[in-house]
Chains A and B, each alone.
Chain A
């Protein structure tokens, strides 16, 4: 699971007011090389919840992203490379996503998060 996907997922448990962003519990992560595509990154940049991405990247051991960003930074090749690496090349293979309110763990197995809820959570 890429951090790009993590940036869009939210906890949907009944009664949870703010299920975003989900916490990360990392058991195994891998780095997979992906072709660098600046246009894709520029397209995705406005859609990304930046603080959530920075926190998730740090949990995966990558602390190169700046805490604050602005669109002018998209002109910097160095920034785009870091953004690309965090967004697309860090994969959570095994672990869990954690609801920020309830602490409920959603298992991630073989890179696939299981977001199904139990009967009592609906």
Chain B
């Protein structure tokens, strides 16, 4: 799947070069003393999402496609989910793409960014009339403010990959779910922006003689199943989609990432990208990956995760050693017949 995104006039200095230097704050130092590992600066991520609320493109085709593919999984479920919690990420796209799927009647939309929540609230009037009672909460995915056993389904489209404690956040989702409740999430996987990672690494080695993290670490596909099991979900399933989005330049890609609130939020980030390095990154990107028409591709790997809260009605694997027929006997039986 690929599409071109419209170009816009850029100011002389690319936006991603004009980041102010943020000193290492006492707040973030306190974070390191906390028992939970702090990989991402959640305060910064909140600010980035506030900004994204104003930069967000209406009907972004990438976000719409991911939300559509995630919600499409509800079509395979006979069960209905009257009360739903939709966690941060592409909230607005998820709400728009819902279209009565899953039998959702009550939807709580939650994001740590108050601007993003207000944006969703203001757009609610434009949503299709699908008899969904929608309410809005400013809250943190890492510390869910939900009563236990109160929700039928938790949806998260491209939000959970920014949590410091992903298993912990998923455990909280499970606790908020009722028995036989569904957890359905889409997160960005480790292959996301592989072209940009490579171009940035080469540019940094060439211009600065070393590398520092400018792109955030993301979960690998093999980890996703373990995460679901570790969080206590039953019947876990994981599948992966890769999307290639074409841009006119690396600068436009960065613009799109900013508009999605997906820019770097690592605690140990270098706060400014050297101008030379940035221009070299753009040039290397264009040289290595540019198409004949001048556009560049960006890969987004999306991992879809599905898990259920335990319930007696769910099928369970038999105890080990409880089988009454051995596979050897079955093999013999088949070889006799043939």
Chain A residues with CB under 8 Å of chain B are 1-2, 4-5, 7-12, 20, 34, 37, 40, 43-44, 47, 49, 88, 106, 110-117, 119, 122
**Chain B contacts for A12, CB-based, 8 A:** 143-145
Check A40–B112 contact: CB distance below 8 A: no
List 7 A-B residue pairs with CB atoms under 8 Å apart, sorted by A's residue number.
A10-B145, A10-B148, A34-B133, A43-B105, A44-B83, A111-B121, A122-B34
B81 to chain A, nearest CB (A): 11
Chain B interface (Cβ < 8 Å from any Cβ of A): 27, 30-31, 34, 82-83, 105-106, 108, 112, 114, 117-118, 121, 131, 133, 135-140, 143-148, 150-151
Quote the shortest CB–CB distance from B325 to chain A (angstroms). Answer: 44
* Residues of chain B within 8 A of A117, CB atoms compared: 140, 143
B121 and A49 form a contact (CB under 8 A): no
A20-B147, A47-B150, A119-B30 known; A114+B138 contact, CB < 8 A: yes
CB distance from B69 to the nearest CB of A (A): 28
Task: Give A106 to B145 CA distance when docked, in angstroms.
Answer: 11
* CB neighbours of A11 from chain B (8 A): 145
Contacts of B139 in A (CB 8 A): 114-116
Which one, B121, B135, B148, contacts A2 given CB within 8 A?
A: B135
Q: Is A8's CB under 8 angstroms from B133's CB?
A: no
Q: Are B105 and A8 touching (Cβ within 8 A)?
A: no
Contact of A115 among B27, B34, B118, B145 (CB under 8 A): B145
Q: When the two chains form their complex, are residues A1 and B135 in contact, meaning their CB atoms are under 8 A apart? A: yes
A113 engages B118 (CB within 8 Å): no
A122 to chain B, nearest CB (A): 7
How many angstroms from the CA of A113 to the CA of B145 in the assembled complex? 11
* Contact of B83 with A119 in the complex, beta carbons under 8 Å: no
A97 (CB) vs chain B CBs: closest residue: B145
Q: In the bound complex, do residue A115 and residue B140 qualify as a contact, i.e. CB atoms below 8 Å apart?
A: yes
Asked, given contacts A10-B145, A110-B118, A112-B121, whether A4 binds B133 with beta carbons under 8 Å apart, the answer is: yes
Q: Are A112 and B136 also in contact (CB < 8 A) when A9-B145, A9-B147, A10-B147 are?
A: yes
Closest A residue to B120 using CB positions? A112
Contact B146 A47 (CB under 8 A): no
Chain A minimum-CB-distance residue to B110? A115
